[in-house]
Structure 1
Amino acid sequence: MLGLTSVCVFLFSALALAVNSGYSLGALVLLLASGSLLWKLPSLALQRRDYLLITVLLAYFLIFTTNMLYHGDPAREFDMPLRSLLAVPVLLLLLAYPPRPTFWWAGLSVGAIAGAAYALMQFVPDSLIRPQAATSNPIHYGNVSMLLGILALCGLDWARTQAYRYAWSSLLLAGCLAGIVGSVISGSRGGWLALPVCLIIMAVHHAKNHGRRHLAITLSLLFALLGLAYVMPHSPVQQRVATVISELEKYKNDGDVTTSVGQRLVMWDTATELVKEHLWLGMGRTGYLQQKKVMLAEGKISKLVSDYTNAHSDYLDVLVKRGITGVLALLALLLLPLVLFARTSHRGPAGARPFALAGMLLCTCYMIFGLTTSSLTLNIGIIMLVFPMVILWAMLRQQERTA
């Protein structure tokens, strides 16, 4: 079983971007394998922290599902919160049969490199067509690519303790750079916001564990990466930054809603306006879309905006559809695991810290992604949050047990 969980963990990340629904393959096999717990009955020795993580995953599922039933939302809406429920038996399986770390770190790097290669084949400088993954649009491709790159960078501390540390370090650095390159050429601006924040967290983490010189090294790397991404020939970063400024001016001066920025601002204003009358429980997906049709008929919003099924922000989308109770469930899903991982990064054994750091940055990335897009309304978005979360937690707990 250890071999199976290790291979599945590798495939989960390695196939995430370059293969159609590749992220689902490893997750599905892990879910099916978790059925073996019913007759093998391994000793799990669960701690209070494990129960807390399980509780927040179940609470997210129950609160969202109850809200959807209350509002009579379409059956396909239940598919997203269901992923947090399905992550629970996978967590129990991985706690019983923790995967080998080599498979996890290798999968991250291979996935980032394969995803960047797939996108580079589509990349045309100065083109309006943005590269994307096999199963997602450019926004979510760019976010997941950046996520894989950042998580790969967390493995450098682990690589230093391995027999082939230079080979592992090179592979992880290649995965990090590939993930960033994939994000840059996708033109997905929301993912770029995560990079400086995560590098600063990483710098503080290494400064506490290895000395202040690591803070200076990481910050220098941050500014070098940002500068290089901006000044490189045909830089998508430079072009997309210029586009943001131009579109903001058009919206401010002319009320132009034909641009990406203009449409986002209108969607955010619309969600903010609608939520006032349905503060606690929201209005559900059905109610949200019906009210947008009413506003379109009244001439309050453009046809370009009324066709979107979400508010282009996880926080506003949940607030308008699920109310304050839904927002609290979302924040718990992001913040409680963040706190659990952070405690281990400060107090845990050295072997567990790379996994704790990766868990912290996973939650941080999704908190930032959710500012400008609705990641958790898509399959790739919710799966790439809850399944890496339980994988990292299981490997962290294994390192604690063997320390």
Structure 2
Amino acid sequence: MKITQNTFYLLSILLVPTLLLTTKNGSVAIVAITSLYSLFFLVKNYSTLQVNNFDKIVIGCLATYFLIYIPTAISDGSTLRYFQGGIRLLFCIPIYLALTQVFKDISKESVLKYLSIGVILGSIGALILAIYQHFILQMDRVDGFLYSINFGYLATALLCLSSSLTIFNRQLRPWLVLAVLSSCTATFLTFTRGAIFAIPLLIAFSYMVSWKHINWKMMLTVVVLLITTSIGTYTFSSSVKKRIDYTVKEFVNIKEGDLKAARSSGTRLYLWAAAIEAYKESPIIGLTYQEREALNKKLYNEGKVNDYVRDLPRGHAHSQYFEMLASSGSLSFIGIFMMLLLPMFIFVKHFWNTQSIWGFTGSVFVAGFILFGLTEAPLQANTISAFYGFMLATIFALIRNEKYNHKNDIN
């Protein structure tokens, strides 16, 4: 059967969330194939391609994370690891440019349908895998084909998408409700605190963004589902209860100034302090990984960090923001703004102006990654950065189509 150009892109939009947590790098492969095909598409249709100011902003959002690390990589002279996250966002630029053309001929109802099906399949698949690992394999923290923290963040990212789409997609709403429950439960079974604690904050953010425009009945339904699932998981899973109680105890220790007793959360504070010291050493472009390792050993000898920080390879800060601050210096502020804050502003503004599903969905999706970045550097990871870049490219292209091509609008 011959797959048309439009069908190819719709299948990509379906398969990326479907394969995100149910396969090992399956979604990354789809993003890579779509990027290569998009390059071919752009070369073939170069004469009809029109790049406006909005496109230039989007290209900047997808390229800046790569560009800000060029000075540090040159200073290091020995590794391409600095670009491991940024290069995947860079590869999503041709996808965005191709989608701006393709979406002129694809109804938004079709995009909504394919994306919703992908999120539903991906969320249910994530839950099945999590249940298998937790209850059959007796794993304390499920991780799928990833590290448990990354699995938790991506499950929450699917939760952001499924909960947003539930509000707008009447046709698939029962299945999307199931996706909300599935992705939320899968998140809890990873015991990833940065993802779990992001859920109530994302609910609050959704209310803040949408209080003038949203269907309150559907919003309340989603909130009740999330709260019920959270309480149920805490009540019936002793492991989840133990993890949450352990976190509360750690916060008490930190409040009392005993960072060593708060081994996990306290260590993160040490890591962030070390990242700030790295920034002080080189505030313009940051330190290389080798220089950060040496600095951490020095800080340990001075009694300012613990042994975990001393021995950590590359001086990893376990925070998107502190990691970028340490390794790209003041350039990190540009990177954070372009990669996270500016997309958030564009999506929120578009939703307020048009009550668009894509503005709201994009806002909640990016808000999730802003929160994830507080306690980990998720956008350095292969699967996460590819997924984030792909979804940004897709949502930006949909919003561009609404701004400049007013056919087939849906609200």
Q: Same fold (TM over 0.5)?
A: yes
1:104 partner amino acid:
L
CA distance change for structure 1 residues 152 and 218 in 2, over 3 Å: closer, same or farther?
closer
Which residue number corresponds to residue 340 of structure 1?
Answer: 346
Which residue number corresponds to residue 359 of structure 1?
Answer: 362
Percent of pairs with identical residues: 22
Report 1 or 2 for greater relative contact order, CA contacts < 8 Å, sequence distance ≥ 6: 2
Which residue number corresponds to residue 286 of structure 1?
Answer: 290
Tell me the SS of whatever aligns to 1:155.
helix
CA distance change for structure 1 residues 399 and 104 in 2, over 3 Å: closer, same or farther?
farther
1:97 pairs with 2:102: yes
2:190 partner amino acid:
S
> Unpaired runs of 5+ in structure 2?
none
Pairs within 5 Å for 1:173-188: 173-188=177-192
Give the conservation status (yes or no) of the 8 Å contact 1:126–1:234: no
Pairs within 5 Å for 1:1-400: 1-36=5-40, 37-41=42-46, 43-72=48-77, 74-98=79-103, 100-101=110-111, 102-124=113-135, 129-134=140-145, 136-160=146-170, 165=171, 168-210=172-214, 220=224, 223-230=227-234, 232-249=235-252, 255-256=259-260, 259-296=263-300, 300-308=304-312, 309=314, 310-348=316-354, 353-400=356-403
CA distance change for structure 1 residues 133 and 290 in 2, over 3 Å: closer, same or farther?
same
Question: Distance between the aligned counterparts of 2:75 and 2:318, measured in 1?
Answer: 23
1:376 partner amino acid:
L
Question: Distance between the aligned counterparts of 1:205 and 1:390, measured in 2?
Answer: 22
Give the conservation status (yes or no) of the 8 Å contact 2:92–2:393: yes
Shift of 1:281: 1.8
Give the conservation status (yes or no) of the 8 Å contact 2:141–2:189: yes
Question: Distance between the aligned counterparts of 2:371 and 2:149, measured in 1?
Answer: 13
Shift of 1:294: 3.7
Q: Which moved more, 1:57-66 or 1:359-368?
A: 57-66
Question: Distance between the aligned counterparts of 1:227 and 1:13, measured in 2?
Answer: 26
Question: Distance between the aligned counterparts of 1:277 and 1:79, measured in 2?
Answer: 24
Question: Distance between the aligned counterparts of 2:229 and 2:115, measured in 1?
Answer: 25
Aligned residue pair count: 392
Question: Distance between the aligned counterparts of 1:178 and 1:214, measured in 2?
Answer: 18
Tell me the SS of whatever aligns to 1:121.
helix
Shift of 1:371: 0.6
Give the conservation status (yes or no) of the 8 Å contact 1:193–1:368: no
Shift of 1:314: 0.8
Tell me the SS of whatever aligns to 1:132.
coil
CA distance change for structure 1 residues 144 and 215 in 2, over 3 Å: closer, same or farther?
closer
Shift of 1:272: 2.5
CA distance change for structure 1 residues 171 and 212 in 2, over 3 Å: closer, same or farther?
closer
Compute the TM-score of the two structures, normalised by the length of structure 1: 0.88
> Unpaired runs of 5+ in structure 1?
none
List per-residue Cα deviations over 1:161-180 (Å, max 9, x = no partner): xxxx1xx0011111111111
2:24 partner amino acid:
N
2:249 partner amino acid:
S
1:87 partner amino acid:
C
Q: CA RMSD in A?
A: 2.6
Give the conservation status (yes or no) of the 8 Å contact 2:284–2:328: yes
